């Protein structure tokens, strides 16, 4: 059954419904037109901490703004409470926007939020956003799938799986597959686990001299890039005091990054 409400005029979010909206990688000009219309028509907006001030400035003054952001080891609100708030505000007849950094279904909790809305019988739409890897690729002229070096690109979460993850979810990656040379690996949220990532990839056969790059806040004025190798990834991050949000890119394509 299709639970998405139909749009009316210039207001894609209808009263009593929810829009899960991708805010993109930070630059407000990279918002989709539909995302902007959702933001500007919202009665209440729940946003992540990765949604930057330039995007938040587009929220109308009349809208209630709720910060539900999560960082490593710090959750403003538990996920169950976020889902409860989405449902509560929608049942009150409001136009609800859940604004998420990047794309709402890429390494976020969009799947859990959609499931909660379905269970509650609340209509919703999903508005895709430019995910951080594509923003970084454009900002630093990096072809993630350059046909001479990497016909395959893999997006991964660098976070360790939660203790309460579903029992059928493996707690480790398929490192044999990830250690193949002719591909690009992009780790989101991987800064805290660089030593583990390096150790596993090298142990499973990927050369320690494989090019790598660390990219901080791509598409924003404070964007930075550091080139290194798989062998020197953790030391580079420590020496430069690189903090999230930063992407880790590993593969031959990283040797051809601009900047």
pLDDT digits (tens, 9 = 90+) for 103-159: 999 998 999 999 999 999 999 999 999 999 999 999 999 999 999 999 999 999 987
Are residues 138 and 242 located together in one domain of the fold? yes
Are residues 176 and 240 located together in one domain of the fold? yes
Domain boundary among 112, 130, 148: 130
* Beta-bridge mates of residue 75: 70
Q: Is the link from the previous residue into 111 a cis peptide, with omega within 30 of 0?
A: no
Domain boundary among 94, 113, 130: 130
| Catalytic residue annotation | 48, 70
pTM: 0.88
Q: For residue 110, how many C-alpha atoms fall within 13 Å in the half-sphere facing its CB?
A: 23
**DSSP label at 108?**
S
CA 234 to centroid of chain Cα atoms: 22
Domain holding 241, by residue range, is: 133-256
Are residues 110 and 140 located together in one domain of the fold? no
pLDDT digits (tens, 9 = 90+) for 44-67: 999 998 898 999 999 999 999 999
Measuring CA to CA, which residue among 160, 188, 190, 186 is closest to residue 173? 160
CA terminus-to-terminus distance, the chain: 48
The packing angle between helices 110-120 and 79-91, to 10°, is: 40
In the chain, how many domains are there?
A: 2
Domain boundary among 130, 157, 175: 130
Q: What backbone torsions phi and psi does residue 142 show, to the nearest 5 degrees?
A: -110, 115
* Beta-bridge mates of residue 124: 18
pLDDT of residue 157: 93
For 179, residues 6+ apart whose C-beta sits below 8 A from its C-beta are 200, 201, 204, 205, 206
């Amino acid at each position: 059954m299709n639970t998405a409400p139909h749009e009316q005029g210039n207001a894609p979010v209808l009263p009593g419904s929810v829009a899960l909206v991708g805010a993109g990688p930070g630059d407000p000009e990279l918002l989709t037109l539909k995302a902007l219309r959702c933001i500007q028509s919202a009665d209440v907006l729940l946003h992540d901490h990765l949604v930057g001030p330039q995007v938040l400035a587009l929220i109308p003054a009349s809208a209630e703004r709720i910060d539900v952001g999560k960082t490593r080891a710090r959750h403003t609100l538990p996920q169950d409470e976020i889902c409860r708030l989405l449902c509560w505000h929608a049942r009150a007849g409001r136009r609800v926007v859940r604004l998420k950094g990047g794309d709402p279904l890429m390494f976020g909790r969009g799947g859990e939020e959609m499931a909660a809305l379905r269970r509650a019988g609340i209509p919703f739409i999903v508005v895709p956003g430019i995910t951080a890897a594509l923003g970084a690729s454009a900002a630093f002229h990096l072809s993630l799938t350059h046909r001479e070096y990497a016909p395959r690109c893999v997006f991964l979460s660098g976070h360790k799986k939660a203790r309460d993850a579903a029992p059928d979810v493996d707690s480790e990656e398929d490192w044999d597959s990830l250690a193949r040379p002719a591909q690009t690996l992009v780790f989101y949220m991987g800064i805290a686990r660089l030593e583990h990532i390096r150790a596993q990839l090298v142990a499973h056969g990927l050369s320690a001299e494989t090019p790598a790059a660390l990219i901080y806040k791509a598409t924003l004025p404070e964007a930075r890039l550091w080139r290194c190798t798989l062998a020197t990834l953790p030391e580079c991050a420590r020496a430069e005091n690189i903090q999230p949000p930063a992407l880790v890119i590993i593969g031959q394509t990283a040797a051809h990054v601009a900047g």
